[in-house]
Amino acid sequence: MRLLTRLFQRFLVFCVGVVSVWLIVFVVFDTADHRLPWVLAVCLTYGLAAYVILPNVVRMCLKVLHRRLIPRYTITGDGLPGDPVNFVLIGTLQQLRKAFETAGWSTADRLGIASSWRMIRAFLVNSAYPTAPFSTLYLFGRGQDIGFQEPIDGSPRKRHHIRFWTLSLAHSEDDMSAASFWLNTDKPSPEERALWVGAGTRDTGFSLTWLTFQVTHATDSDTNAERDYIVNELAARRVIGDVAWHKSGSVLQTGKVNHYITDGEIAFASLTVS
């Protein structure tokens, strides 16, 4: 019975995929091609397909497949695995900002029309944008609360960066492999000491997302190296205490998450900067 259910689910997903391709090619493009020059028709079709139709199709398909895993990774807007979680710091928002400022990192701008356009322009002409925005990833039912970055060789195409989600310090004793930890949505006030759960990766250039073909940064698959780099950066400036190591979600085994390679360990430390 379980096998039949799985086969039926996959058949439904296949049908949704076929319908979405038909909609993109024979409805959206055909309609645009009759009303606009060919180049504009292609651009309009790509925009609607990559940022409207396919993201919603992916979300719908994932609901059909009922993926219910304790996350060891963040979630994209399409509901797909994003960057692995590999960092937790304890402290206030002011301490977090001060720690990364001391390490020479910049706070990322909020994602919006103006910041997105500036990022695109900087990316195309390879001009510096040290506070470039991040795409939104999700954890605890919301997008990141804050992010920090360090450009590589002054290029907007390459950078060390990390996103953080805040969680009440009351959950610091919770088992990080338990579903209750990851499903909690409590958000503490900026003034109180809190857990800052982070996902750090290194951007390496230009890429397209593999299901929706949205424009994005390419990232280095070795998130262990990036996690260790951030630990060393903060430890060298003496803005964190001793580092402990915790395992993240218990459902996934050590290995690949999305296209990333991770050992599943999270660096855990207290912020010591005043």
94 and 178 part of one domain: yes
- Among 20, 46, 65, identify where a domain stops: 65
Co-location of 102 and 130 in the same domain: yes
Residues 52 and 106 in one domain: no
Does residue 188 share a domain with residue 58? no
- Does the predicted model carry a pTM greater than 0.75? no
Co-location of 38 and 173 in the same domain: no
Report how far Cα 109 is from the mean position of its chain's Cα atoms. Answer: 15
Q: Which residues 6+ apart lie within 8 Å of 184 measured at CB?
A: 140, 167, 168, 171, 174
Residue 266, CA atoms < 13 Å, CB-side half-sphere: 25
Cα 18 to Cα 22, 57, 190: the distances in Å are 6, 11, 47
Mark which of 32, 65, 98 sits at the end of a domain: 65
Q: How far apart are CA 230 and CA 100, in angstroms?
A: 10
Per-residue pLDDT of the chain (274 residues; tens, 9 = 90+): 666 766 766 777 677 777 777 777 777 777 877 788 888 877 877 777 666 776 666 656 655 544 444 456 788 776 677 888 888 898 999 999 999 999 999 999 988 888 878 887 887 788 888 888 888 888 887 889 999 999 988 877 888 999 999 988 776 555 565 666 666 667 888 888 888 989 999 988 766 565 555 556 577 788 889 999 999 999 999 999 988 877 654 332 333 444 456 666 788 888 888 7
Domain count, the chain: 2
Distance of CA 211 to the CA centre of its chain: 15
User: Are 30 and 113 in the same domain?
Assistant: no
61 and 91 both lie in a single domain: no
Q: Given this model, what pLDDT does residue 1 score? A: 62
Domain end residue (candidates: 34, 49, 65): 65
Same domain, 23 and 80: no
Tell whether 106 and 240 lie within a shared domain. Answer: yes
pLDDT for the residue numbered 104:
95
Cα distances (angstroms) measured from residue 190 to each of 47, 94, 166, 196, 273: 37, 8, 9, 11, 16
124 and 202 part of one domain = yes
The boundaries of the domain holding residue 29 are 2-65
Same domain for 80 and 127?
A: yes
